[in-house]
A and B are shown apart, each in its own frame.
Chain A
Amino acid sequence: MSIETTGMGIVGIVLLMVVVTLATRWGGVYVMSIAPISARVRQFINAMSASVLVALIAPMALTGDVATRVALCATAALMLAVNKPLPAIAVGVVAAALVRQL
């Protein structure tokens, strides 16, 4: 099932995202007021937060052009070396630009 990105569809998409985001910001507080969150559930939630980003990136790396792969490798290398997001993203973007100039 999909939503058209025109007119009311766009309003619906933004509203749904707002509802989901608010539900998560409020949900943890609400759940704790009824019963504490178990360690196992906490681990599942933590692992899911990291996994969704990986699940989004993996096909991008597989199907992207050479510049895409070079950019992702450059960002990964910088993150592993200095662990600073902004320089890592900047180097990734510059790397993609350089490859496309060749």
Chain B
Amino acid sequence: MGHTDTGLHQLDRSLVWAGFKSLTPISLFVTIFGVAFGLAAKQSGMSDSLVISMSALIFSGYAQFALLDLWGAQVPLVAMLVAAVAINARHLLMGATLYPWLRHLPPLKRYGVMMVASDANWAMSMQAFSRGQPGLGLLLGGGLAIWLFWVLGTWLGIHFGNALSDPKTLGLDMVMGCFLLAMVLGGDRNPRMCLIWSVAAIASLLAYRYLPENSHVIVGTLAGGLAGAVKGEQHHEH
């Protein structure tokens, strides 16, 4: 292995454990979102083992919530794949931004660490690198913490959901919609994003009204993506 850089790519047991502990406080929130997913999934009529398997294997909150939205006696294949790719596309950017450090690891480790990449541990890891500290322990250890609490929360949500007789009266059918909306508005909010959202919403509604069932996901996503590529980001000088 080339140790030609400053060694920021180092990854050993103590760094992983330190990363696990660093992300544990944030994981409390992950647990609550897991509960929300478990609850919402139960309302879609999924079996307990299916819901747990989804959280443990897919490990992508947004994509799992999106799948619930499409869930019925049948699931539309193309809409499901487009939604999953679009939602998870940000992982591509995470991998790309981590590449300068990941490239020093052997392929098995390099791709193994990426299996638990998600928003919070990626952000912490990038922050550590920018401070000149090793960050891959945060990525792997923190990712394992998030995974563990995501599955734990899902399990709690399933059991809570099983105990409820009428979730709709309690407004719990809105967990998914409110979750997705909060995630949209929690990101960047600027005129460019407003334009992208508007294009996505209008395209989605038009497709919902005039095109075949479930095409609204595909049409809205691609329209918004193209709007973003055409509009371009403004670069402010700092």
Contacts and interface: CB of A to CB of B under 8 A. Distances in A.
B95 A68 contact: no
B178 A28 contact: no
Contacts of A101: 169
A33 B180 contact: no
A47 B196 contact: yes
B186 interface: yes
A28 B91 contact: yes
Interface residues of B, number: 96
A21 B178 contact: no
B174 to A, nearest CB: 4
Interface residues of A, number: 73
Contacts of B60: 17, 21
A79 B188 CA distance: 12
A4 B96 contact: no
A17 B192 CA distance: 30
Contacts, number: 292
B59 A21 contact: yes
Contacts of A3: 74-75, 77, 80
A92 B170 CA distance: 11
Contacts of B69: 56, 60
A52 B178 contact: no
A25 B220 CA distance: 23
B73 interface: yes
A29 B95 contact: yes
Interface string B181-195: 111111101000100
B148 interface: no
B93 interface: yes
Contacts of A61: 177
Interface in B198-232: 199-201, 203-205, 208, 216-217, 219-229, 232
Contact of B78 (A1, A33, A56, A76): A1
Interface of A: 1-5, 9-10, 13-14, 16-18, 20-22, 24-33, 36-37, 40-62, 64, 67-68, 71-72, 75-76, 79-80, 83, 85-86, 88-89, 92-98, 100-101
Interface of B: 29, 32, 36, 50, 53-54, 57-60, 62-64, 66-67, 69, 71-78, 80-99, 102-103, 110-111, 114-115, 117, 168-175, 177-187, 189, 193, 196-197, 199-201, 203-205, 208, 216-217, 219-229, 232-233
